[in-house]
Amino acid sequence: MRRRHFMALAAGSAVTVPGHASATAAMDPPLEETTIDALQLALRERRISAVQLVRRYADRVASIDRAGPQLRSVIELNPDAEAIAEALDREAAADHWRGPLHGVPVLVKDNIATADAMQTSAGSLALVGAKAPRDAFVVQRLRAAGAVLLGKTNLSEWANIRGAHSVSGWSARGGQTRNPYALDRSPSGSSSGSGAAVAANLCAAGIGTETDGSITSPASVNALVGIKPTVGLVSRDGIVPISFSQDTAGPMCRTVRDAALLLAAIAGPDARDAATRAQVGRIDLAALMRPGPASLQGVRLGIADNLAGDHRGVAAAFATAQAALKELGAELVAAPIPHTERYAQSELEVLLFELRHSMAAYLKEFAPNLPHRGLADLIAYNRAHADEELALFGQELFEQAEAKGPLTQPAYRQALLLGRRYARTHGIDAVLRKHRLQALIAPTGGPAWLIDPINGDAYGASATSPPAVAGYPHVTVPMGQVGGLPVGLSFIGTAWSDARLLQLAHAYEQATKHRAPPGYRERST
């Protein structure tokens, strides 16, 4: 009976649960704002089973995502989730625990391949029915760590690389994801569903992916901790690609500690991703799970105020954040990141060249049963299904990418060199070295903008591009709210400083406690 109940949820039918917070919130342990550690303790003390956790989260999805506020953040529930949980419960009964994620339900973005009953579509109808021959490396790591794959999350279709004037959180397959803090506001993207679902407590934790801002921006507007790791810390294997220079998966969680645990679980060398070899000897995975200390005494942080923009409310929140950091003993110095304008255009050039090359390779391996073999086929599919796929915006970026040549072309090589030179050597690394800094800080971005299917997204100032182009780590943590809408504080560092950034973010988080659950307001004003 319960199996049929879960299968009905996976198919999208609603189960009525009183109130947006769900009737299950009063149970032990409560799911509202819980942590991985709290869930793990409850599992080990036999106060709940992994199967019961799966069912309770599925009930929340039914009452909040399918009905109620209708966030549309979960594109699909995993029909095998209960079976996975049952197997993990049997291991627990034999006193075999895989680690802190054992039995913990996690949602992953729908551009990360799973060789199971779920789709891997990047939100596009073109990839519905693709049969992935194996799990992405990140998914393999999650399964090995004992996480339960609860389902997949909606996203900005093709991770926002298809067309100009795109609408974050919209995909032809999943519809429009809404921001749980104000339903008329954007969840940002492209990891829109992961951000909204984790913020709404529809899972214990979530996985997003980022090329430039796709983890950190939705984390910021959903009052989450988001980590864009150093490129090469987490394998890109099995992830629908944009750019192998900038793509990475990363955690989206409600606390720094949860994000650290999740990052440690998915990080590691992968023989299929050459970039991950660089982490060997440079990062201690165990250190990622210890996000202390609680003190910032004597830590030198640079204020990258040229990334802050001119939003008055954000500026006030950033000033309050700086005061909190000083109170914790940090030394703050003005340290704008130079030369950001030098790679603004070259970044897009790199993405378009690499998209054309990488998409063909992905389709060949992870969608072998479909007729699509490259961007040209996807472009043709969208034209043939324009009423569904191109109703809100076009595919100009796909078309520009398809017109690019091979990666041997001088235009690509020059753009790649320019970006790395000015984002790394003459950018982040130069300013860190000049001022003897451990990290840079800036507002992650502004509050969420209105969802606008006519004009598309209205992004404001953002701190995402310098670390994205450099391939360097970027951690965002809740900084407060502006008009009831969350904004985040960014910690940016050099390559392989991920553990250090987590320590800094954890100290700030513990001192300020800005994370607040959403209220599901119909409108922001």
Catalytic positions: 109, 190, 214
Q: CA nearest 291: which of 39, 498, 49?
A: 498
The amino acid at 461: A
CA distance 525 to 521: 9
Residues contacting 486, CB < 8 A, separation 6+? 181, 220, 221, 222, 223, 447, 448, 478, 480, 516
Distance CA 198, CA 209 (A): 14
DSSP state of 428: I
Output DSSP code: residue 158: G
CA atoms within 13 A on the CB side of 286: 1
Phi, psi of 3 (to 5 degrees): -65, -45
Of 502, 504, 519, the C-alpha closest to 226 is 502
On the 0-12 / 13-18 / 19+ scale of CB atoms within 10 A, 457 is buried
Cα separation values, 85 from 30, 104, 139, 292, Å: 19, 9, 16, 31
Helices (H), 267-311: 285-288
CA dihedral for 178, 181, 183, 184, sign (positive or negative) = negative
Q: How far apart are the first and last CA of the chain?
A: 44
